[in-house]
Amino acid sequence: MYFYDLPLHKLEDYLSLNGQNKAKARILYKSIYREKISLGDISVLSAGTKESLLKNLSFTLPHIITIQDDGETAKALLKMPDGNKTETVLMRHRYGAGVCVSTQVGCAMSCAFCQSGKLKKMRNLTAGEMVSQILVMSSLEQIAHVSVMGIGEPLDNFDNVKSFIEIISSPYGLAFGERHITLSTCGIVPMIRRLPEINGGFNLAVSLHAPDDELRNMLMPVNKRWDLHSLIEAVKDFSISQCKRIAFEYILLDGINDSTEHAKELAELINGINCFVNLIPYNETKTSGFRRSKNSDSFFDQLKKEGVNTIFRREFGSGIKAACGQLSAEL
């Protein structure tokens, strides 16, 4: 059993099943996540308890193949015990460090502009493999924010992502508060509807990238399955029921989705939702052929004119291929 896969209640069940007092789960969480003590060194547990736990629980972190660090952004290439690789990124903001967590090996969504989308989906990452990305990066910096925005589509791996958020938000463990976790999805509507099942708060970001179905179908195949109307309805319901402000992500692609007309359509589409638009400068990838917009200032101004809260996403890590859409877990 991998310790980092276990939300607190599952660790409690596991201890009970193994004849241990389930109250020890909190001790384990506190010692391992907060105090960073290894199991063998936890003084409040008896030698016998530790021995029996060590027999069945594993704490091994993934092997770090490389870390590239440009001082502001660090990217780690990690190898899991089954040989699969993933990447995780640390961003040093002025207000604290954030980790961008990958959720799958590869990705099945095939967005036209994204390098990760060119990889085949090999498998889901487990909750523990997501937690371990934070633990690896916390050896470089104290982590203040977690973005579930790395390789993979988190809502195509709902159960593990649910456990992951529950583990990292436990007050006995890493205790990330709801304003310190952001989950980004390309729009798997039935799973957006299930988000309230997750015990632990987070902010929701939605990769929109186009204001109409025709264009979005071309850029993001997921839109053919769940169109903009159903996506917007699900997001609106989530925002209202959870009292949450939604971030709509919008990559500006030269000549594709960046006209002032598009900006007007976008404003119309999201009208009435408690939200803001996060404009993303496009990071050019090896194979996509899209280019960065030259019209981003006019697009921004038009959205502002329409009364939409809008910000530009700050760029991180493009020099070490660690920016949005550039992760591919290659050596």
Of 232, 251, 263, 329, the residue at the interface with ligand SAH (CB under 6 A) is 251
Alpha carbon distance 242, 222 (integer Å): 25
Measured from the CB atom, the residue of 73 and 184 that comes closer to ligand SAH is: 184
The H or E element spanning position 286 is none
Catalytic machinery residues:
87, 324
Quick check: 87 binds ligand SAH (CB under 6 A)?
A: no
Contact letters (x/-) for ligand SAH, 206-245, by CB under 6 A? Answer: -x--------------------------------------
The H or E element spanning position 206 is strand 203-207
Give the largest CA-CA distance in the chain: 69
Quick check: 113 binds ligand SAH (CB under 6 A)?
A: yes
Contact letters (x/-) for ligand SAH, 288-307, by CB under 6 A? Answer: --------------------
In whole angstroms, the minimum distance from the beta carbon of 234 to ligand SAH comes to: 15
Nearest residue to the partner ligand SAH, using Cβ: 325
From 100, 82, 81, select the one nearest 92 (Cα to Cα): 100
In whole angstroms, the minimum distance from the beta carbon of 304 to ligand SAH comes to: 21
Q: Which two tokens stand for residue 97?
A: 């460090």
Sign (positive or negative) of CA dihedral 152, 92, 278, 255: negative
In whole angstroms, the minimum distance from the beta carbon of 282 to ligand SAH comes to: 5
In whole angstroms, the minimum distance from the beta carbon of 137 to ligand SAH comes to: 17
- List residues near ligand SAH by CB under 6 A: 111, 113-114, 149, 153, 184-186, 207, 249, 251, 280, 282-283, 285, 324-325
